[in-house]
A and B are shown apart, each in its own frame.
Chain A
Amino acid sequence: MSSEDRFDSFLKAHSRAVPAAPKHHERLFFARMASSPASIETWGVTVLGGGVLAAAASWFFLISPLQSSRSTQELTDSIQTYNELVDDTEENDLYEVLFEGSATRP
């Protein structure tokens, strides 16, 4: 046995012995696991999933129809305005209306 091994053996032999493990440590550990990380994971997934679902449902049922109707309404208004302009404007002036502010005339 080398002097290094002898020194290691000395340290090991004379170090304080590890105290006895608490009774039922395994049961206590798995009870703690059940009460914290597993639950947190489950609740995390549930809350996150629920949140995503609620957001998707809100968009589908509320925002999307509103946007859709608003877009349709805006398009209708634009066409109507355009038609009114075309009706009320001479052909030569139409370019002015359509390209208002533009330096180049196509």
Chain B
Amino acid sequence: MARPWVRLRGREDDFTALYRENYEAVRSVLFRFQVLDLDDLVQEVFIKAYRNRGAFRGEAASRTWLIRIAINAAKDHLKSSRASVKTIELEPRHHGAERPDSGLADTIESCLGRLSAAHRDVLIVCAIEGYSMAEAAVILDVVEGTVKSRLSAARLEMKELLKREGVDP
């Protein structure tokens, strides 16, 4: 089949290349939001990106644009399936790659789930996924100063939650 094309940053890019370059990053961030049907949602994010390609103004990198779409999609997904998410919180996921310290991974996931949405988002984007504050500002649609203050507060809250669970980071 003919592959679709998308105009990004004033040049014609192969949408396939965009998909290949960003697939892992989009999937990773969606995984952190503990969504159901991870791979289905990854596809939806790229479909949304393709449909909204006209809205991409080229002011940011295509990756931050995609991650922003992914986070919004994850939030919508969580809202629409809140009951199912509660089930996930009670029963830790086992489809992730197992590690010897999977108990600690469960605790981290559980604590992340207890943070406020704003703190959870900034911690996932900056601390776990490694985006810079400038990138996070674009992704989360807030100014950089807000990212900085939220991140600082989110770290403190997360440390406190982990300590209560007997984890001293």
- Is B118 on the interface with A (CB-CB < 8 A)? no
Contact of A15 among B16, B20, B32, B38 (CB under 8 A): B32
Q: Is the CB of B99 within 8 A of A16?
A: yes
Q: Hey, which chain B residues are within 8 Å of A32, CB to CB? A: 43, 47
Q: Is the CB of A14 within 8 A of B97?
A: no
* Complex Cα gap A68–B33 (Å): 66
The contact string, 1 if C-beta is below 8 Å from chain A, for chain B 72-109, is 00000000000000000000010111010110111011
Interface size class of B (residues with CB under 8 A): 35 or more
Min Cβ gap A54→B in Å is: 27
- Is B22 on the interface with A (CB-CB < 8 A)? no
* Complex Cα gap A21–B96 (Å): 11
- Which chain A residues (1-48) contact chain B, with CB distance < 8 Å? 4, 6-8, 10-12, 14-22, 25-26, 28-30, 32-34, 36-38
Residue in chain B with minimal CB distance to A14: B104
Q: Is the CB of B39 within 8 A of A25?
A: yes
The contact string, 1 if C-beta is below 8 Å from chain A, for chain B 19-61, is 1100110011001100000110011001100110000000000
Q: Is the CB of A21 within 8 A of B95?
A: no
Q: Is the CB of B23 within 8 A of A21?
A: yes
Q: Is the CB of A30 within 8 A of B127?
A: no
In the complex with contacts A16-B102, A17-B99, A19-B95, A33-B4 CB distance below 8 A: yes
Q: Which 7 A-B pairs have the closest CB atoms?
A: A17-B97, A8-B127, A16-B105, A16-B96, A10-B169, A18-B31, A14-B104
- Beyond A12-B127, A32-B43, list 6 extra A-B contacts (CB 8 Å): A12-B130, A21-B39, A25-B23, A26-B20, A29-B42, A29-B46
Selected A-B contacts with CB under 8 Å, 29 pairs = A4-B152, A4-B155, A7-B127, A7-B155, A7-B169, A10-B169, A11-B127, A11-B128, A12-B127, A14-B105, A15-B32, A15-B105, A15-B109, A15-B128, A16-B105, A16-B109, A17-B96, A18-B96, A19-B38, A19-B97, A26-B16, A26-B19, A26-B23, A29-B42, A29-B43, A30-B1, A33-B50, A36-B47, A37-B51
